[in-house]
Amino acid sequence: MAGSCGVRLVPASDANVADRYDRVMSSPHRVACVAFDGVVAFELGIVADLFGPPRPEAAVDWWYAFALCAVAPGPVRVAGGFDVIAAHGLEAVERADTVVVCGFAVEHVEPPPALVAAIVAAHTRGTRIVSICTGAFLLAAAGLLDGREATTHWRWADRLQARFPRVRVNPSVLYVDGGDVLTAAGKAAGIDLCLHIIRSDHGADVANRVARGMVVSAHRDGGQAQFIELPVAPTPLDDPIGRAMDFARGRLAQRVSVRDLARHAHLSPRQFERRFQSATGLAPGRWLTRTRIESSLALLESDARPVEDVAAAVGLSPAGFRRHFRAHLEISPSAYRRQFRGTAHFTPARNAST
DNA sequence: ATCAAAACCCGCCAAT
DNA sequence: TGATTGGCGGGTTTTG
């Protein structure tokens, strides 16, 4: 336990704070992240970084204004044992268009009732409410998740369900978009949800550009099941595109075609094309080859299998594999293997192009 | 390295 | 009337 490690993050200057405050007043969309003692800094950071700074690479008319707020302006002791300064009190929640609640140690931390009340009031006014990780416990306690599907960190899913039986907890997705209330699974899934929000507000292209800037994958899928130690009941994604993606991942070696995917999704090829494009910002064929290349990386790193076998395992001919690999990574498969042998898994953030 | 065939992508349009 | 859908044409990319 790091009771206090002496680190202290403070606003650069009063002028800076005033400037942000003005942006909060003038931006068409204000995101308020609520903080209280014991909140998790990592997730605060995600939200602050995605919605806070201007993002020229997004190339959009407007960007979010971000405000960190607490019951009252001032320092908040985060879970890591250092302080962050909330520049705003609850009035920022009142003015927000989106309110984000980050995770906290649910067994030791009691969120301030005034804060919870402010969030409920905001929801009643139609404000979009978002939780990351165990932040869902706050929303559930406030009754905002009653009768709804929601998710949280897989390690806490059982407890969320037990404590709030009226919530339909889905432990195997990265996030749930319930329209006015959105919940993300643990930790980094917050990035996925924030990108999803940007995707719904600004479109897939913008989300892809932001994702690239953050060096993360723009559209992770497959849920958080892959991170769970104990097997959970597989809950198939109910949207046809997500299903098709799962389907494709499961049989890359069989050389699935876009036509196959469309058929599997029960959509006409043209319509599948369109839906896929708008969901991921990528044409299905391009996504397919990108997925093939990405899944080949792990094989190249961990296996000594010949490149030809790796190619076959991801459904490409040797020549095609080498060609695509080069096009994506600007390096040959064998060179990649030499370079990354024995190192951590590496996933390139090449999404929008190709 | 080259090339024909196949697959893919996407604007457009008419029909729901 | 506006949104969604499925088919077509044909330029582009991929395959073998």
Confidence of residue A338 (pLDDT cuts 50, 70, 90): confident
Q: A258: Cβ under 7 Å from strand B? A: yes
- What would the pLDDT profile of A161-176 be if each residue is shown by its tens digit? 989 999 999 887 888 8
Q: A277: Cβ under 7 Å from strand B? A: yes
Q: Give the range among A8-12, A272-276, A328-332 with minimum mean pLDDT.
A: A8-12
Tell me the CA–C1' distance in angstroms for A183 and B4: 52
Which residue is the nearest neighbor of B9, CA to C1'? A283
Asked whether the predicted pLDDT for residue A199 surpasses 80, the reply is yes
Tell me the CA–C1' distance in angstroms for A305 and C13: 29
Tell me the CA–C1' distance in angstroms for A86 and C1: 49
* pLDDT recorded at residue A351: 38
Question: Residue A231: which residues within 8 A CB-CB, separation 6 or more?
Answer: none
Q: Name the residue with higher pLDDT: A122 or A207.
A: A122
Nucleotides of B under 7 A from a protein CB: 7-12
As to burial, measured by CB atoms within 10 angstroms (0-12 exposed, 13-18 middle, 19+ buried), residue A104 is buried
Percent of chain A with pLDDT over 90: 50
Of all nucleotides, the one whose C1′ comes closest to residue A315's CA is: C15
Q: A262: Cβ under 7 Å from strand B? A: no
Q: Which of A217, A310, A265, A319 is nearest to A257 (CA)?
A: A265
Q: Give dist(CA A46, CA A52) in Å, integer.
A: 10
Tell me the CA–C1' distance in angstroms for A273 and C2: 22
* pLDDT recorded at residue A240: 83
Q: Give dist(CA A163, CA A181) in Å, integer.
A: 19
- What would the pLDDT profile of A24-45 be if each residue is shown by its tens digit? 446 789 999 999 999 999 999 9
Tell me the CA–C1' distance in angstroms for A338 and C2: 56
Of all nucleotides, the one whose C1′ comes closest to residue A270's CA is: C6
Q: Give the range among A74-88, A141-155, A237-251, A283-297 with minimum mean pLDDT.
A: A237-251
Q: A341: Cβ under 7 Å from strand B? A: no
Q: Which of A25, A119, A108, A140 is nearest to A71 (CA)?
A: A119
Confidence of residue A188 (pLDDT cuts 50, 70, 90): confident
Q: A283: Cβ under 7 Å from strand B? A: yes
Tell me the CA–C1' distance in angstroms for A34 and C1: 43
Which letter does DSSP use for residue A348 in this model? -
Nucleotides of C under 7 A from a protein CB: 5-8, 14-16
Confidence of residue A352 (pLDDT cuts 50, 70, 90): very low
